[in-house]
């Protein structure tokens, strides 16, 4: 009978160990599920940030392009202005020569 009792004690002990391991396993699965959920959220967040980054880069590129266009227009206007100044200088020089010539004739 004592052999039978010893066996029952061993079986009971093993059952308790199995039960404990099963509880550990359930806890571990919960933990892994939690980690997987965190990873999903992190992945979604990373994707969202990537989209925001792409938008920001594209917006910057558009602003840069627009600024470069403005600069180009301003340079063109400056060049046109300088050209007109040069033309005006030539006209003024011509008029001065004519004026001097007329004055010379008047006094001569």
Torsion of Cα atoms, 35 then 40 then 43 then 47, to 10°: -160
pLDDT interval class at 108 (50, 70, 90): confident
Residue with tokens 């004055």: 103
Whether 93 shows a pLDDT value over 80: the answer reads yes
The proportion of the chain whose per-residue pLDDT surpasses 90, expressed as a percent, equals: 92
pTM tops 0.85, yes or no = no
């Amino acid at each position: 009978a004592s052999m039978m009792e010893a066996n029952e004690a061993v079986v009971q002990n093993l059952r308790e160990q199995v039960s404990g391991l099963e509880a550990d396993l359930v806890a571990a699965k919960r933990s892994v599920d939690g980690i997987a959920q965190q990873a999903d959220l992190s992945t979604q967040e990373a994707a969202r940030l990537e989209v925001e980054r792409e938008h920001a880069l594209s917006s910057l590129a558009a602003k840069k392009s627009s600024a470069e266009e403005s600069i180009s227009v301003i340079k063109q206007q400056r060049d046109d202005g300088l050209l007109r100044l040069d033309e005006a200088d030539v006209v003024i020089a011509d008029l001065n020569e004519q004026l001097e010539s007329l004055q010379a004739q008047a006094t001569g």
